[in-house]
Structure 1
Amino acid sequence: MNSSVSQQPNVRVLEKPTNVFFHCGEGFYYESLPKGTRVIYPNPSHAAIADVDAAIEHALENPLGCDPLSAQLRPGMKVTIAFDDLSLPLPPMARPDIRELIITKVLKKLGEAGIDDIHIICAVALHRHETPAELKYQLGNKIFNEFYPSGRLYNYDAEDKEGNIFLGTTEKGEEVEVSRRAVESDLVIYVNINLVSMDGGNKSYATGLSTYRTIRHHHNHHTLMHCKSYMDPKNSALNASCDRQGKIIQEHMNIFKIETTLNNDTMPAYATYLKKPVWEMNWFDWGNFWINKKLLDASSIKTRRKIFEQLRAPYKLTSIYAGRTAPVHEKILEKVFAQHCVPVQGQADIGIVGIPYLSPYNVNSIMNPILTYVMALGYSFNFYRGKPLIRKGGVLIALYPLHEDFHPVHHPSYIEFYNRVLTNTTDPKTIQDKYEEEFAYNPKYIEAYRYGNAYHGVHPFYMWYWGCYGLAHLGKVIFVKPQSKRPAEIMGFATANSIAEAIEMAKDVVGDNPSISNFHYPPHILLDVS
């Protein structure tokens, strides 16, 4: 492709109209972008750690800010191990999951120290409870077979009144209510994957092991409207709230935090072309692309979802740190930013992005319209530091087929939220004030969360708030080639039959001769816009 002068290897400005392919749900879209479009791809993967076992051992015995793990252990202790749920990483990690490797080594040390009062908690917060098969996939057969049948491996339950305990309030009045088992343990070991810079730190506890009473203080319209960047902790009101709550949590828990980073290997060997800039693709890559596109186009949506559900990423470990929360997270953020940040000079009038089939909230499930909204406005828009890629009042063009489908087991409250709340109002503040508590305390949704595999009743509200800053910033949002226009109409978006048509529509908002930027993910990307 002879199309541009390169600012850097993964950023180019097209010198002529050029055909590009995009992720578009459970498939791909292919269309020409106009001359002058800036095309941005993620960074190549950083080098992986060769000896993972040695790296885990070194982190546990050379922690930051505290004694080595083995020096903290004594017979008769009560220990709780908590770990991130299946919302991380995306796509799911090919086995063995790094959490299995870390927890296996931790359990060996606990056993050698004569400790047998051990619980392992999947820190789901208000996410859906994982199935036994999902827990087994993350932790492996050995851990699952030893701990699950005895009831010592389980999902955190944010609605268990006896299983949670109130710790107090922050100086800003934010309540802190968390897992009683964790508070009453002599040691809490939290195993985290930092997929993006928003993950980890105090957010692990202030969400993963906390109740609605706690989470509502940072997952709300007001707080999220004051996040200059979700992905830049120092400019995130959400992160600041979690830090305040985390201070109280750490006053009541002895926490040994283990955080990790992964490289950008999001695609298995047969699909490596998906992470290449289009100008680096060879004839073999293009052949694979067209074969896969034709097969997917000819398949039913059910078959396509099944195909993508099976995709596993060959992620490799790039760093691991352990110890006290603050110094560990500081080191981890350096690694995350180094892998994901792509320097970009200047904002654009129009941003174009293809939305992939997967979000943190539809693993082994369905990307419903609200999750599509949050991937476009909550995540894609917010993949930046400094400034948004799209200028104030600019236009986001998103590619996703907008299936009007919901998983009835995983997302029951989403269905009511979509059909009753959004058809009445899309204003985040009105939605929060008028409807949130009704859904949060609905016994039917609480029952489905506790004893089924449903997201908490309040969860779709958080998804809607998550996109509120992007929605307020942008002048227009256009979805290209929707399967159904109804979701766009309900959520207040425009639709177009092609990127070219969407660009012409955007000119009514941003004027003629707009600057256009197209960015691609996965792999993961963070735009350092100056």
Structure 2
Amino acid sequence: MSRPGFVLSVDAQTPPLVVFQGEKVLLERLPSGASVLYPPDALPGIHQLDAEVAHALANPVDSEPLAALLQRGSRVTVVFDDLSQPITSRTAPDVRQRVIEHVLELAAAAGVDDVELIAATGLRRRLTPYDLQRVLGERVFASFFPDQLHSHDAEDGNLVEVGKAADGTPIEINARVVSSDLVISVRLATAVGNEGAPAVATKLASARTARALTSPLAAAAGASAFESLVDTIGDKATVFTIDVTLTPEPTGPATAFLSKREREWSITDRVLSAGIQAATKVLPSRARLGLSQVSGVGFGVTSVLAGKPSSVHPLTEAFLAQQQVGVVDSPADVALFGIPNPNGVGTALNPVTAASLGLGQIFNGQAAKPVVRAGGTAIFYHPLTPWFHPLYHPAYVDFFAEALSATTDPAVLAADFEGRFAADSWYRHLYQTSYAHHALHPFHAWYSAAPAIEHLGEIIFVGGNLESTRRMGFKAATTLNDALEMASDSVGLSPSITYVHGAPVSISEVS
């Protein structure tokens, strides 16, 4: 059992605190009287992972064992999370590979010979062959690629309507999934409220369905459209989920100090910290990115649950809440958040994805109350460098330069720009053939930040690029003191301050 989270009141004896700023790791000294919300300590990872997976498959929740569900002659589809969720290890096989290998061994023993594997990418970029091999390992990749292993295509003509939303919008799902007898979902759960039980269906829907159900113009319809697509999809496809909970932990011995509370650092920890800070100051940006992915936050496996999705997901959420949620007594006038570059992305965050990651953390999906009061100020640490991956982000470039230059209002973006981006044949071609994010992806990233933007009075990025912050309607500050001075007009000269310590998967809420 890990130590629970706690709230530290900053005084003159408090050492400088770790703050992630993109590819940098800073040590920031906070004003006296500020509160620091530490999340619970990370649980130790499971050492006998293969045994834990085998036990979960043989003893599922509210379901027959997986071996009993796999019948000779049945049509089985395995869907798994893409690289929007992190690679859990750089040396040992990824947990998705290890789980899927267990599933395939059970399928072979049952005489099932119609098996297909699909990366549930939704509107995110489709995975390259290298990506697929990186997630699933050489043996699975060589056995199934390309005919029986691929990414979901949200623009594929081979999609099947399985129902309609309340407003009449057709719900179109991947045809292979709908025609299956058994759909096995391998899901990585990194944070409370992260997509939830209907994630299988939403990540396998058509672009037309995703646009209709997640646009601000149809938010009410999208909230309930997939509720029935949890345990079954279509007329016969039964869903069996395998939820793997992940928790942040250091990627190696050299960076173990990053998970410790600063008062507990040894002399060695302080030396290592100084070394990382010096390196991030002198190295060029591309090299700092590589350093951050070595020194940043990795993930370990803490539990494996399997069975009926509607029964498993609440247990998963409860487990994550126990190991991630920290609680403060009352909302602050000002909240501080560091934003690291997630190690699963493989590239620096562009300004839109960085903003959506940071601002989505204010509300933590639907799992917690904001740690900052309505009309308060959120201060984030991230450079918001206006750099976009030339292969993955072509629609982001035009969304940032054209759409956000005209308006930051989600409803106006949806009405004036979304249709044109969605219908663009060049964006569609790049999505289907060149591994680019779908043209709708930047819109949905921005929509996820909208509730926080509406809740807050000021949004300030320390170290943020001036052009990027202005384009998105935020402010840029050079230092924390500058940011607090900017916020003083709305929160006063002596605001209450709470720093949410840790990575984006740590959760903060008000009791």
TM-score (norm 2): 0.93
Structure 1 unaligned residues grouped into runs of 5+: 1-6, 227-236
Residue from 383, 393, 399 that aligns with 1:411: 393
Are 2:78 and 2:183, in contact at CA under 8 Å, matched by a contact in 1? yes
SS at match of 1:154: strand
Q: 1:24-423 alignment to 2 at 5 Å? A: 24-89=21-86, 95-148=92-145, 150-162=146-158, 164-171=159-166, 173-199=168-194, 201-221=196-216, 240-246=224-230, 249=233, 251-309=235-293, 315-358=299-342, 363-380=345-362, 382=364, 385-423=367-405
Cα gap change, 1:90 to 1:371, in 2 (>3 Å): farther
The one-letter amino acid of 2:369's match is: K
Equivalent position amino acid for 1:451 in 2: T
AA of the residue aligned to 1:151: D
CA distance in 2, matches of 1:9, 1:456: 39
Do the aligned partners of residues 462 and 90 (structure 1) sit closer, same or farther apart at CA in structure 2, a change above 3 Å counting? farther
Query: Does the 8 Å CA contact 2:233/2:239 hold for their aligned counterparts?
Result: no
More moved, 333-342 vs 300-309: 300-309
> 1:189·1:257 contact (CA, 8 Å) conserved in 2?
yes
- Offset of 1:29 from its aligned partner? 2.7
Shift of the 382–53 alpha-carbon distance from structure 1 to 2, 3 Å rule, reads closer
Change (3 A) 1:46 1:293: same
Q: 8 Å contact 2:244–2:301 — kept in the other structure?
A: yes
1:162-206 deviation line (CA, Å, top 9, x unaligned)? 2x1111113454531111011111211111111112236433223
Question: What is the aligned counterpart of 1:447 among 413, 426, 429?
Answer: 429
Cα-to-partner distance string for 1:249-298 (whole Å, 9 max, x where unaligned)? 36542111111112332432211122222222222111111111111211
Aligned to 1:379, the other structure's residue is in SS state helix
* Change beyond 3 A, Cα 1:334–1:250: farther
Structure 1 residue 429 and structure 2 residue 424: aligned? no
Q: C-alpha displacement at 1:381, in angstroms?
A: 5.0
Percent of counterpart pairs with the same letter? 32
Q: 1:210 to 1:338 in 2, by over 3 A?
A: same
Match of 1:476 in 2: 458
Partner of 1:497: 478
208 and 19 in structure 1: CA distance in 2 versus 1, 3 angstrom threshold: same
1:416 deviation in Å?
0.3
Query: Partner of 1:405: helix, strand, or coil?
Result: coil
| Greater mean deviation of Cα atoms: 284-293 or 267-276 | 267-276
For residues 416 and 265 of structure 2, the distance between their equivalents in structure 1, rounded to whole angstroms, comes to 51
Q: 1:527 and 2:511 equivalent?
A: no
Letter in 2 for 1:268: G
Distance 1:488 1:260, change over 3 A: same
Whole-Å Cα distance in 2 between the matches of residues 223 and 43 of structure 1? 37
- Do the aligned residues in 2 keep the contact of 1:206 with 1:246 (CA within 8 Å)? yes
In structure 2, C-alpha distance between the alignment counterparts of 1:284 and 1:485, rounded to whole Å: 37
Distance in 2, Cα, partners of 1:12 & 1:153: 49
Q: How many equivalent residue pairs?
A: 508
Give the partner amino acid of 1:155: S
Tell which deviates more after alignment, 314-323 or 377-386: 377-386
Listed as ranges, the gaps of 5+ residues in structure 2 are: none
Aligned to 1:15: 11
Q: Which amino acid aligns with 1:205?
A: V
Please tell me the residue identity of whatever aligns with 1:304.
R
- Measure, in 2, the Cα distance between the counterparts of 1:398 and 1:304: 19
3-state SS, counterpart of residue 423 of structure 1: helix
Which stretch of structure 1 is more off in the superposition, 93-102 or 312-321?
312-321
Per-residue CA distance 1:13-67 (angstroms, 9 max, x = gap): 1123753231111112333211110012221122443432222122212222222
Provide the rounded CA distance (Å) in 2 between the counterparts of 1:253 and 1:90.
29
- Tell me: CA distance 1:83–1:315, structure 2 relative to 1, closer, same or farther (3 Å): same
- Looking at structure 1, the residues matched to 396 and 95 of structure 2 have their Cα atoms a distance apart, in angstroms, of 32
Letter of the aligned partner of 1:54 in structure 2?
A
Segment drifting more, 381-390 vs 238-247:
238-247
Q: Given that residues 100 and 138 in structure 1 are in contact (C-alpha distance below 8 angstroms), is that contact kept between their aligned partners in structure 2?
A: yes
Instruction: Give the Cα–Cα distance (whole angstroms) in 1 for the partners of residues 248 and 218 of structure 2.
Output: 30
Aligned CA RMSD, in angstroms, stands at: 2.4
Q: Offset at 1:513?
A: 1.6
- Specify whether residues 321 and 120 from structure 1 end up closer, same or farther in structure 2 by C-alpha distance, changes over 3 A only: same
Shift of the 382–70 alpha-carbon distance from structure 1 to 2, 3 Å rule, reads closer
Letter in 2 for 1:276: K
Q: Distance in 2 between matches of 1:381 and 1:253?
A: 34
Counterparts of 2:192 and 2:223 in 1: how far apart (Å)? Answer: 11
Pick which of 281-290 and 459-468 moved more. 281-290
TM-superposed deviation, 1:311? 6.3
Letter in 2 for 1:198: G
Distance 2:250 2:505 in 1: 8
Query: SS at 1:110's partner residue?
Result: helix
- Measured in 2, the distance between the counterparts of 1:92 and 1:466 equals 28
| 1:209-254 deviations in Å (ceiling 9; x for gaps) | 1112222344332576x8xxxxxxxxxx976444245477365421
Alpha carbons 1:167, 1:249 under 8 Å: kept = yes
CA distance in 1 between counterparts of 2:52 and 2:450 reads 40
User: Letter of the aligned partner of 2:456 in structure 1?
Assistant: L
Residue identity in the other structure for 1:125: G
What secondary structure does 2:488 align onto? Answer: helix
Normalising by structure 1, we get a TM-score of: 0.90
Please name the residue that 1:485 is paired with. 466
Distance 2:296 2:476 in 1: 32
Contact persistence 2:362–2:370 (CA under 8 A)? no
Q: CA separation in 1, counterparts of 2:166 and 2:406?
A: 36
Q: Write the distance in 1 (CA, Å) between the matches of 2:399 and 2:267.
A: 46
**Matches of 1:66 and 1:259 in 2, distance apart?**
14
Q: Which amino acid aligns with 1:412?
A: P
State the secondary structure of the residue aligned to 1:254.
Answer: strand
| 1:313–1:293 CA distance, 2 compared to 1 (3 A) | closer
Q: Which amino acid aligns with 1:84?
A: D
Distance change (3 Å), C-alpha of 1:250 and 1:379: farther
Q: 1:290 to 1:356 in 2, by over 3 A?
A: same
Distance 1:290 1:509, change over 3 A: same
